[in-house]
Amino acid sequence: MAAEEQDQDTQEQDPDQDPDPDAPAGGTDVAAKLFGKWEISEIEYSDPSTERYLSVTPVAHTAGRHARKQFQKSEISVVERFINRLMQTEENTGKKQQTLNLVRDAFDIIHERTEENPIQVLVTAVENAAPREETVRLKYGGISVPKAVDVAPQRRVDQGLKFIAEGVQNSSFKTPTSAEEAIANQLIGAANYDVQTYAVSQKEEKERVAAAAR
């Protein structure tokens, strides 16, 4: 009788049965979050052309591993790319940790003002600040003629990040506005498509010039 009860217990436990694939590893349900607080799983994209170039990951500092290949930069988080763009000034070159802390504080300000996920605000801001057309110079018999061309999706993202970073620099350098406030103001303004925001105004200007050169 004891042997039969032991066989029944073994069948009930069934150690060879595959574990639940949806069960979290180690019995814990810990989701990776950016800065330990911001969800990355529910980001929405309104522009399908730039979606693959607006990666969102819980890692904000990859130590430059994306620089090994030409187009690998689009695989890292757009948050880190924004941080790197903010460092591309004479005063902030190489200050990665300081800039990362500024962006972290700016995200808290954005959440307090909008009650939205600041990562979503950043993604929307880049989409709104990314120009769809620009001009190139073509030479005909020694005469330069502007020609409107479509902007590649990856370049659109690069341009959007550049315009937002320039807006932060212009509004915070040698002004009473702190860097955290400047970052929050630029991102919220661009996300709301406020034409008074530097990034959106630069995008509108590029597209206006391109429309005139069609």
What are the φ and ψ backbone dihedral angles of 90, each rounded to 5 degrees? -60, -35
Provide, rounded to the nearest whole percent, the portion of the chain with pLDDT above 90. Answer: 50
Q: Among 181, 177, 35, which Cα is nearest to 109's?
A: 181
Task: Give pLDDT tens digits for 194-211.
Answer: 999 999 999 999 999 999
- pLDDT 10s digits, 49-101: 999 899 888 887 887 776 666 677 788 889 999 998 998 877 777 788 899 99
More confident residue, 62 or 178: 178
Dist CA 6 CA 200 (whole Å): 72
Q: Which of 127, 128, 126 is nearest to 194 (CA)?
A: 128
Q: What is the mean pLDDT of the chain?
A: 83
Give 51 or 26, the one with higher predicted confidence.
51
pLDDT digits over 110-160, tens only? 999 999 999 999 999 999 999 999 999 898 888 888 899 999 999 999 999
Q: Which domains does the chain have, with CATH numbers?
A: 38-60+70-212 (1.10.455.10)
DSSP state for residue 29 in the 8-state scheme: -
Output DSSP code: residue 38.
B
pLDDT band, very low/low/confident/very high, at 30 (cuts 50, 70, 90): very low
pLDDT for residue 19 is more than 50: no
Q: Three-state SS string across 87-101, please?
A: CCCCCCCCCHHHHHH
